[in-house]
Amino acid sequence: MATWKILVVDDEEGIHGITRMIFRGYEFEQRPIELISAMSGAEARQKLLEHTDIALVLLDVVMETDHAGLQLVEHIRGELNNHDVRIILRTGHPGYAPEAQVIVNYDINDYLSKAELSASRLLTSVVVALRSYRDIRNARIQQSSSSALLPTAHHDGVLTESIQERLSPLLRQSQRLEQMSLNPVAKDAVTNLSAAIDRLAALLDLANTPASSPERTRFSPSQLMDDILGLFLPESRQNGWLLDYVLDPSLATSIEGNYTQLRCLIVGIVELALLSADGNDLRIMISPDDEGSWRVSLELTSGHPVFSQQRWADQLQYYITQSISQNGLPQGIEHILSVDDQGAIHCKVPV
């Protein structure tokens, strides 16, 4: 079974023991945690060469030198050019690496003080980091698949990848700022910025998402929908509208599917719906389809559908025609859409 590889870099044997105790038997998305130990920055460099699929580095700052940990960060991001692995600093000497300075100047993903660190806080940070690593790897796989499946869209793919490369540092900077002590107004602005960047990144991922992908994990539909609602929460608060969802009771509480692909598809549907909602509250309705897919519908809280045949037929037909002719999408893609007796348009989303 595939594992989540975590490299623990610390010159204190006791830290390795405590970390092993915390993560003994722990699983994330039904994959166990595999801890790899290194007692110095030099040993860590060797471990990174031996294990190219390390997802997370738990890194001490002061080891063989006062800045051995920070030098390892520069080695990972610079010499190895590895921007996928997540890095969490755990330091017992915050004076050698002040949090505000390190967060801004080094490409790390979290900063923890050993003196204040609890098992639950460490678990939370690790889960967030692994989830971030998973999303990054899924996005890279989807980009590679898109290039192989849609060679006629090469230039569009290059443009999309270029935009994504520029978005990634912006998202990292906003995440770092969220971790700093800001006044409420500034923190709210950073949260809004981070959500907006994440929404744009999801749309770019959607442009590069293939029809099928081998990356399948187990998750709950409610977890997915809560994640999506969180992306739109800052805008809805600012503009005074609500976004909610209703899951059909017959929908399984846990499913196996491509989390990133589903997230991108539903974010894209909601973004399209916002263009027609005119500031009204929205509700996402999800129910199982006879063929094993999800049936996704959007309606105003008044009960009226957002997408109706009368308003959207011409636009959707044009989009489908263009997608088939320009992007090489297969004939029959129009069958992902259905119209009910009231003229409401529904979308079939593959799980």
User: At the fourth CATH level, which superfamily is domain 4-136?
Assistant: Response regulator (3.40.50.2300)
Q: Taking all residues of the chain, what is their mean pLDDT, rounded to a whole number?
A: 76
Nearest to 213 by CA among 259, 179, 180: 259
pLDDT band at 154 (very low <50, low <70, confident <90, very high): very low
pLDDT band at 183 (very low <50, low <70, confident <90, very high): low
User: At the fourth CATH level, which superfamily is domain 215-349?
Assistant: Histidine kinase-like ATPase, C-terminal domain (3.30.565.10)
pLDDT attached to residue 277: 75
pLDDT band at 57 (very low <50, low <70, confident <90, very high): very high
pLDDT attached to residue 280: 82
Nearest to 56 by CA among 81, 31, 35: 35
pLDDT attached to residue 334: 47
Residue 294 per-residue DSSP state: E
pLDDT attached to residue 8: 96
The single residue listed with the structure tokens 């992908």 is 213
Nearest to 15 by CA among 114, 128, 88, 113: 114
pLDDT over 90 (residue 15): yes
Give the integer Cα–Cα distance in Å for 217 and 143: 18
Locate the domains of the chain by residue range. 4-136, 154-208, 215-349
Q: Which whole-number Å values give the CA distances from 2 to 31, 54, 55, in the listed order?
A: 6, 12, 12
pTM over the 0.75 mark: no
Extract the tokens encoding 108: 């790390």
pLDDT attached to residue 324: 45
pLDDT band at 97 (very low <50, low <70, confident <90, very high): low
Nearest to 212 by CA among 152, 157, 293: 293
What percentage of the chain has pLDDT greater than the value 70?
Answer: 64
